[in-house]
Structure 1
Amino acid sequence: MRPSLILAFLAAVFPLVATPGASLTLVVREVTARGRGRALPIILGTVTGLYVHATLAIAGLSALVMHSSTDFEIVRLLGAAYLIGLGVHCWRTVPTPPGDGTPAEREPRGAVASYGQAVLANVLNPKAASIFLTLVPQFLDVHHELAPQILTLATAQGLLVAAWLTGWTVVLSGANRFLASARAKGRWKRITGCVLIGLGLRSALA
């Protein structure tokens, strides 16, 4: 695949990548609460979700979902419910300042859980699927095998997403000392919860 086509694709997809969504919200939640190391599972999970969409596009299943209104609605509502559930979870696990007589936040389930959340957030996002059905085809050469081209573009997008989320991780890590108190973490988790719930409602009502 010609490098010029890959660069053109990245230029076209970047505005979508830069639009704040569930993946960035999860990175904000994890980095501000537990440090920069917890961004890696989110980044890996998001990239994994891209490869899932690429695989479905190759198999033609994404086209089936996007062209069947019933199936599309099911995927959209599942994604919306998942985002709302994550948002509610953020609100319920807000850390409390020491000495207020309430239990501290539970120990997180670990990196595997964060990875799974990021995978689901991406896989259940119809907008991510639509990229491989509306944008990717514009950069494919029908005279060559489609699967390698789709995987190449998915890899390019994955690297772009990883770089974007890593950049945010660095920024958040630099500001983390200002966000280290339980009170500040609580504010961030409430903001994160509101954003996730808002994303879910927007998806459900779209």
Structure 2
Amino acid sequence: MQWHQVLGFVAAVTPLTLIPGTSFTLVTQQVIAGSRSDGVRAAFGSACGLLVHAAFAAIGLSAVVMSSAQALTVVKLLGGIYLIWLGVTTWRSTRRDADRGADRDADRDVGKSAERTVRGRWRLPWTQLGGFSQGLWSNVLNPKAASVHLTLVPQFLTAGRPVAPQIATLAVAHVVVVLVWLLFWTSVVAAARPTIGTPRFRRGMCRLAGAVLIALGIRTAIAS
């Protein structure tokens, strides 16, 4: 594979990456509701989801899925249901955050700070991977992410050479493009938090992100 092929693929995939979608929405929600590190984890999770599709494409699994109407329908439904569920939980998290704020105020009044410390100490270790897991599964269950490797990638492959190494090269290029964009956007949102990070704004943005995720899930589930 020549460098001009890789550069051509980057030029083709960059506009698709810049279009706001699931990963963009997840990163925004994670930074606003949590912190910059949460957005970074979501960005890397999304990138790893692309690597999963690249691996599937390399072994032919994605081709089987995309060529079977029944299998593609299942993937679309799973992806749509997951995004809808994620949107609903994102929306509901605003109420939980408000409840936790009220609980903290009540705890201070009755002197229960020590009990809260113990509860935080026993928090499950994998809860810190929430953003990563959401980013990962949102792309793994996204048929459009798979279609990139089945419609766009083949145009940049060299005939007569092993396919897997070429797909791996293009997948790395795709991941770099996605990470550069998502990490840049993470920094932008994180830098704006001191200005826009009021509780009311955060609740509004989380609700907006939840609504967008639900809309993306419906679109994914019913897309032909």
TM-score range, shorter chain: over 0.9
Pick one of 95, 98, 123 that aligns with 1:96. 98
User: 1:181 corresponds to which residue?
Assistant: 198
AA aligned opposite 1:96? A
> Equivalences for 1:46-195 in 2 at 5 Å?
46-94=46-94, 95-96=97-98, 110-195=127-212
User: 2:5 corresponds to which residue?
Assistant: 5
Report how many residues are paired. 203
User: 1:28 corresponds to which residue?
Assistant: 28
Taking the aligned partners of 1:98 and 1:45, their CA distance within structure 2 comes to: 27
Instruction: Return the offset for 1:102.
Output: 6.9
Name the CA shift for 1:40/1:111 in 2 (closer, same or farther; >3 Å).
Answer: farther
Taking the aligned partners of 1:126 and 1:135, their CA distance within structure 2 comes to: 14
Taking the aligned partners of 1:110 and 1:34, their CA distance within structure 2 comes to: 13
Question: Normalising to structure 1: TM-score of the pair?
Answer: 0.92
Instruction: Return the offset for 1:110.
Output: 3.4
Structure with the largest fraction of helix: 2
Instruction: Return the offset for 1:42.
Output: 0.9
Name the CA shift for 1:98/1:84 in 2 (closer, same or farther; >3 Å).
Answer: closer
**Deviations 1:14-61, CA, capped at 9 Å, x for gaps:** 121111111111100111122211122112111111111011001111
Taking the aligned partners of 2:44 and 2:91, their CA distance within structure 1 comes to: 25
Structure 1, unmatched stretches of 5+, are: none
Taking the aligned partners of 1:182 and 1:5, their CA distance within structure 2 comes to: 47
Instruction: Return the offset for 1:96.
Output: 2.5
The structure whose RCO (Cα within 8 Å, separation 6+) is larger is 2
Taking the aligned partners of 1:155 and 1:169, their CA distance within structure 2 comes to: 20
Structure 2, unmatched stretches of 5+, are: 106-119
Taking the aligned partners of 2:10 and 2:127, their CA distance within structure 1 comes to: 32
Taking the aligned partners of 2:76 and 2:6, their CA distance within structure 1 comes to: 29
AA aligned opposite 1:18? L
**Deviations 1:45-100, CA, capped at 9 Å, x for gaps:** 1111111101100111100000100000000010000000000001111032998x
Segment drifting more, 32-41 vs 192-201? 32-41
Question: Normalising to structure 2: TM-score of the pair?
Answer: 0.85
Name the CA shift for 1:136/1:177 in 2 (closer, same or farther; >3 Å).
Answer: same
Aligned-pair Cα RMSD in Å: 2.0
Bigger CA radius of gyration: 2
Identity between Structure 1 and Structure 2 (%):
43
Instruction: Return the offset for 1:173.
Output: 1.3
**Deviations 1:152-186, CA, capped at 9 Å, x for gaps:** 00000000000000111111012111222211110
Segment drifting more, 20-29 vs 156-165? 20-29
